[in-house]
Structure 1
């Protein structure tokens, strides 16, 4: 369908194509817009635009906004690119056309562009409506942006910042909830670049993002930012700081934040108890729980999760079972699947497999959350990923990964370290490599470039001697990498803090805080 035939379908049959071509300059915007619903392909939409140019209506606000609106209904990149091209050609944009394009991007695979457009609205002094942000706040799986090399910016004074609309907190929080923390961090940087002041809900979302990927430097920067604002009085912000510091490997900072709090609610106490638990200080965590009770603060289900976790990873079987029993008898808290899981783990770690089996049969069957969901049944192998933050940038490494810009240098460092470790007694633990067709040499090679080894090597290369190396692993660390990290801490005199799926491992002087019990 070309531009002439588009006109022809709306003219009487007696009109020839030549007459239709001549009629183009005489079309009014209402007449032209009657043709828009007939377009379906991108080619036809471009022909419609060509006709609007011939009709001298391509600058008509109604025609352009209707065309953009029709294009964004199809969220494919090519349709949105053409819509954005038309948007850029508009000399004076109003709130309607901004809203339309924001709505399109918020439904697409590039929702970050919606955020950028919204910032342009604010810079243009255009008052936004609520309409475009509803799709943004419902984003379930926004894609992670490409790695950004930005370093944390200087903390601006709160008086220099503008006011942030209420939609931004929802956008940043949804990014974190959908396991896209880098998107939340990119959003926060976007706000700072444009001098837009975030709300405390945004601060919570960004701190949660830092906690997920172990971005300690950025988390500290945000803490400094919080101190200069009214957010310093929000108890939830302090609780988020405790959680962030604990999950980024700095238990000392988490303790400092907790001790500086004038008032501590159940969530703050629970965060501190869990912080001690994941760092392997179960006895201190239980002491903290006792202190919480002495302060007449009532525990909740999250508190008991930290308590049971502490008992499980400290091998305190009797204490764990006792605390589990008091949940319902003393506090009327019904255990969930995670509480049951902690008890099973507690018994299994202590070698009481039969008791664990009987507990599962007798107890877990009554748990409301026990019915497996479709997602739980679709079990897939999650690739291991280890990340390390250096100079404000988070670097990710996968097993055998060659995609990192410095991968060749990192692999050479791993080779050098392995050879030095072998000289002091290191032998790769191949007991868990079950590929029968592999030779011993091939089995060793399959272990050598695990993500945590690559991340540690990157840290050795890019940080000065004596600097603590902090690594975040999304899965449980294997025995070989655990032994490797212990010996690296001894050979290089480095403290290594590794967070895996279960807990923190503090390596130093050839030993680990978990005492090889994880």
Structure 2
């Protein structure tokens, strides 16, 4: 760590000489409690100089404490007071070191400690504790290690207070194993030492070690406090250790700690992360005065449990309470907006962040990027990326994956090249994005090349996800047999997802032979997934093998499985509307179905022909055309047409892959109604405009 010279000049003292009529013999209270401004202190100081009382080290230290710690903006004066002390001892150095630390000049505190040692002033336990805190703050590991040696030299190696700050230093600097050795060598461990070790594990995300350490603490019969329990509850949430979390909850109830907001907030967070979101909400509702941390914990709980609507509803309630959200709140809300495709709400949140001038951290910036990318607004995602003052590999991954899924595969590869030019090492997730870009853009040769190079050039061994991407690249391009042989040659056992990837492409390319092979492998690995039976049935239907198609459907029903219903979401005026195929649940369903009928008539007159092979399997022949016209995305699009102004972009999110008929129909709707329509299905984004789609019919 490079440390500059002291920036505060040792100015000559100038004091106001206003007389003080009654000056106490012991002016400590006057100096430390009654001097509210620097001018007040200067008056007292002048009297002390004239009366020679300032020569008393204790009184001089009182003046130093007032100027260095108690009064704002007076460090230059404090340094001048310090320089006027003829032979300052450890107490004076300690005060000035604390002052530099409190007023955000940690480097100056380190320099002052060095000066103290050069002047042969012996530090005490308070000196070491304070300077170690400074080193922790600026991660000055080298200086901290030197101070550790001096702690041993001066005999403070077993002092709990000093050792606790030493533990904290090593943990903060990423040396958690060294911190643990210091902890283990302590002859007596007080609660401060235990909590320092807990804090170290917390900062390093060593969740399992926190739980083990807590068990040791209980066995050692050492009392614990709020700080301990808060840390352990955090670990319980990360590890899903509900039983220990519930034990702590019972302890809090038994000890009458229900009014401790920090503990209750930690409980809310723990229950939410352990998938007990309703229990967390009951606790949350009982909190009389909720701060931003409590609100954020509950909103985050809903978001992480895929209960995104409830997350947004709670955020709206939070706004009514006038509690200002923080970065954690914004990240959870934006993540929920991304999952729901709630573009309007997320855009408002982004503008709110700008209005509040919240710092665009890597985490917040990357979340905003991800939100825009998942709502099909990749231009906005790119804009945020360029605005971010600092980026990490996750930021680049989100951009590359976003470009890939939004039909800009070649641009995704350009940004991968730029990432390498900037010296950022790609992660294994980066290559999932790169291979996805090749898959969506049909870049087979490029995909093969990246797959080989990722281990040779970048030292990243392919995981099963990368093999799955490679299967997708080959199978999408119609190289079904090559994809099958690639799976058979994998060094690890292929999972159901890999085989399912091949099965999906067999449906697109109407390949029964390898479709059946894929399906047979899938049912052995994941026999209860209804979507696989539907896919196989659709492959048979696509080539007119109706009896085989019916047999696949019957097998599904015999095992008690039901087809996952298609569901599409659309946001209108900040509210999320949900549609299922042939659904009448919406309060304006009559109006929506009239709009669908009108929409289908208009696109038919422009050349659209319904693909009744995509109709509900049990639909009668006369009803098949109506069945395909009532798919969930068509209902959502019709609702968007009647509820938004002409020319407004319509954004739809769907839980399943978009069918061929809906894809063809939406292309025609975009042309006839002069609308851009963005559909996010299970695999990618489709940007429909003037009769064409960004996927180039390759999905």
Instruction: Report the counterpart of residue 493 of structure 1 in structure 2.
Output: 674
Residues 258 and 387 (structure 1), Cα distance of their counterparts in 2 relative to 1, 3 Å cut: same
Residues 313 and 394 (structure 1), Cα distance of their counterparts in 2 relative to 1, 3 Å cut: same
Q: CA deviation at 1:467?
A: 0.9
Instruction: Report the counterpart of residue 646 of structure 2 in structure 1.
Output: 465
> What number of residue pairs does the alignment pair up?
375
Q: Deviations over 1:342-383 (max 9, x none)?
A: 111111011111211111111162579989999955324322
User: How far apart, CA to CA, are the structure 2 residues paired with 1:373 and 1:268?
Assistant: 37
SS of 1:403 mapped into structure 2:
coil
Q: CA deviation at 1:424?
A: 1.7
User: How far apart, CA to CA, are the structure 1 residues paired with 2:454 and 2:346?
Assistant: 34
Instruction: Report the counterpart of residue 134 of structure 1 in structure 2.
Output: 267
User: How far apart, CA to CA, are the structure 2 residues paired with 1:183 and 1:447?
Assistant: 32
Q: Deviations over 1:378-418 (max 9, x none)?
A: 32432211111111111111101111111110001001111
1:292 equivalent to 2:419? Answer: yes
Q: CA deviation at 1:290?
A: 0.2
User: How far apart, CA to CA, are the structure 1 residues paired with 2:630 and 2:600?
Assistant: 10
Question: Is the contact between residue 163 and residue 197 of structure 1 (CA under 8 Å) also seen in structure 2?
Answer: no
User: How far apart, CA to CA, are the structure 2 residues paired with 1:176 and 1:167?
Assistant: 14
SS of 2:399 mapped into structure 1:
helix
Deviates more, 1:290-299 or 1:327-336: 327-336
Superposition RMSD on alpha carbons, in Å?
Answer: 2.6
SS of 2:349 mapped into structure 1:
helix
Q: CA deviation at 1:459?
A: 0.7
Question: Is the contact between residue 614 and residue 661 of structure 2 (CA under 8 Å) also seen in structure 1?
Answer: no
Residues 314 and 129 (structure 1), Cα distance of their counterparts in 2 relative to 1, 3 Å cut: closer
Question: Is the contact between residue 320 and residue 346 of structure 1 (CA under 8 Å) also seen in structure 2?
Answer: yes
Instruction: Report the counterpart of residue 86 of structure 1 in structure 2.
Output: none
Instruction: Report the counterpart of residue 581 of structure 2 in structure 1.
Output: 399
Instruction: Report the counterpart of residue 378 of structure 1 in structure 2.
Output: 528
User: How far apart, CA to CA, are the structure 2 residues paired with 1:291 and 1:339?
Assistant: 22
Residues 422 and 369 (structure 1), Cα distance of their counterparts in 2 relative to 1, 3 Å cut: closer
User: How far apart, CA to CA, are the structure 2 residues paired with 1:247 and 1:396?
Assistant: 18
1:509 equivalent to 2:697? Answer: no
1:203 equivalent to 2:319? Answer: no
Q: CA deviation at 1:255?
A: 1.3
Question: Is the contact between residue 295 and residue 318 of structure 2 (CA under 8 Å) also seen in structure 1?
Answer: no
1:216 equivalent to 2:368? Answer: no
Of 308, 314, 338, 1:181 maps to 308
SS of 1:249 mapped into structure 2:
coil
Residues 424 and 192 (structure 1), Cα distance of their counterparts in 2 relative to 1, 3 Å cut: same
Q: Gaps spanning 5+ residues in structure 1: where?
A: 1-125, 144-161
Instruction: Report the counterpart of residue 421 of structure 1 in structure 2.
Output: 603
Question: Is the contact between residue 164 and residue 199 of structure 1 (CA under 8 Å) also seen in structure 2?
Answer: no
Question: Is the contact between residue 400 and residue 416 of structure 2 (CA under 8 Å) also seen in structure 1?
Answer: yes
Rg comparison, structure with higher value: 2
Q: Post-superposition, which runs of at least 4 consecutive aligned residues in structure 1 deviate over 6 A?
A: 367-375
Residues 364 and 451 (structure 1), Cα distance of their counterparts in 2 relative to 1, 3 Å cut: farther
Residues 243-322 of structure 1: pairs in structure 2 closer than 5 A = 243-322=370-449
User: How far apart, CA to CA, are the structure 2 residues paired with 1:369 and 1:433?
Assistant: 27
User: How far apart, CA to CA, are the structure 1 residues paired with 2:688 and 2:608?
Assistant: 16
Q: CA deviation at 1:477?
A: 0.6
Residues 330 and 175 (structure 1), Cα distance of their counterparts in 2 relative to 1, 3 Å cut: farther
Residues 133 and 488 (structure 1), Cα distance of their counterparts in 2 relative to 1, 3 Å cut: same
Q: CA deviation at 1:293?
A: 0.3
User: How far apart, CA to CA, are the structure 2 residues paired with 1:355 and 1:485?
Assistant: 33
Question: Is the contact between residue 315 and residue 346 of structure 1 (CA under 8 Å) also seen in structure 2?
Answer: yes
Residues 325 and 420 (structure 1), Cα distance of their counterparts in 2 relative to 1, 3 Å cut: same
SS of 2:584 mapped into structure 1:
coil
Instruction: Report the counterpart of residue 454 of structure 1 in structure 2.
Output: 635
Question: Is the contact between residue 337 and residue 370 of structure 1 (CA under 8 Å) also seen in structure 2?
Answer: no
SS of 1:233 mapped into structure 2:
coil
Question: Is the contact between residue 141 and residue 175 of structure 1 (CA under 8 Å) also seen in structure 2?
Answer: no
Question: Is the contact between residue 678 and residue 685 of structure 2 (CA under 8 Å) also seen in structure 1?
Answer: yes
SS of 2:571 mapped into structure 1:
strand
Instruction: Report the counterpart of residue 44 of structure 1 in structure 2.
Output: none
User: How far apart, CA to CA, are the structure 2 residues paired with 1:374 and 1:350?
Assistant: 27
Instruction: Report the counterpart of residue 228 of structure 2 in structure 1.
Output: none
User: How far apart, CA to CA, are the structure 2 residues paired with 1:330 and 1:434?
Assistant: 49
Q: CA deviation at 1:184?
A: 1.5
Q: CA deviation at 1:330?
A: 2.6
TM-score normalized with structure 2 length: 0.51
Residues 19-418 of structure 1: pairs in structure 2 closer than 5 A = 128-131=261-264, 133-139=266-272, 140=275, 142=277, 164-229=291-356, 231-363=358-490, 365-366=492-493, 377-380=527-530, 381-418=563-600
Residues 209 and 141 (structure 1), Cα distance of their counterparts in 2 relative to 1, 3 Å cut: farther
1:474 equivalent to 2:655? Answer: yes
Residues 433 and 414 (structure 1), Cα distance of their counterparts in 2 relative to 1, 3 Å cut: closer
TM-score normalized with structure 1 length: 0.68
Q: Deviations over 1:491-514 (max 9, x none)?
A: 111111111111111111111111
Question: Is the contact between residue 566 and residue 580 of structure 2 (CA under 8 Å) also seen in structure 1?
Answer: yes
Question: Is the contact between residue 137 and residue 171 of structure 1 (CA under 8 Å) also seen in structure 2?
Answer: no
Which of the pair has the greater relative contact order for Cα pairs under 8 Å at 6+ separation? Answer: 1
Residues 6-21 of structure 1: pairs in structure 2 closer than 5 A = none
User: How far apart, CA to CA, are the structure 2 residues paired with 1:365 and 1:192?
Assistant: 50
User: How far apart, CA to CA, are the structure 1 residues paired with 2:495 and 2:697?
Assistant: 34
Deviates more, 1:363-372 or 1:284-293: 363-372
Q: CA deviation at 1:170?
A: 3.6
Residues 404 and 234 (structure 1), Cα distance of their counterparts in 2 relative to 1, 3 Å cut: same
SS of 1:424 mapped into structure 2:
coil
SS of 2:490 mapped into structure 1:
helix
Q: CA deviation at 1:174?
A: 3.0
User: How far apart, CA to CA, are the structure 1 residues paired with 2:324 and 2:343?
Assistant: 22
